[in-house]
Structure 1
């Protein structure tokens, strides 16, 4: 996950969920390739090791291809994690 000014999160996850402009989406390993426009809201990341991270974003894009998720947020809450 990146924002215009920084890398916010990177790693392996069991699940990621986010709000797209068409509704909520959940992504698990093996998810079909996709590209979507993100809406405002929270992104939840369940890493392989560790506890859930919740990051508030204002729009962006998400893509899934070959078990890799790339999320580019237009704006990320200033208190969000830094990778």
Structure 2
């Protein structure tokens, strides 16, 4: 499966970055799942979980307090006012 290059950052530090197969996040318009080849987009994040599936199936979860999510090519950037791995 093709991978995404994902970066999750808080206002004052990088929370996590690396390759992933899928990202699931909640936006103000509802939940979205992102796979490689997703259309470019910019969305406002609602507070809550960001679930990241790594190559091989391992899963990471970050708790993010609002912010935004952008997809450009196979790059996903999540920028939140506060975020941490849980």
1:6 has 2:9 as partner? no
TM-score by length of 1: 0.88
- After superposition, residues 16-55 of structure 1 pair within 5 angstroms as 16-49=23-56, 51-55=58-62
TM-score by length of 2: 0.86
Structure 2: stretches of 5+ with no match in the other structure: 1-7
Moved runs in structure 1, 4+ residues, more than 2 A?
none
1:67 has 2:74 as partner? yes
Counterpart Cα distance in 2 of 1:48 and 1:10:
13
Aligned residues: 79
Structure 1: stretches of 5+ with no match in the other structure: none
Cα RMSD between the aligned structures?
1.3
Q: Judging by fraction of residues, say which structure has more strand.
A: 2
Counterpart Cα distance in 1 of 2:31 and 2:57:
23
SS of equivalent residue, structure 1 residue 11: strand
SS of equivalent residue, structure 2 residue 58: coil
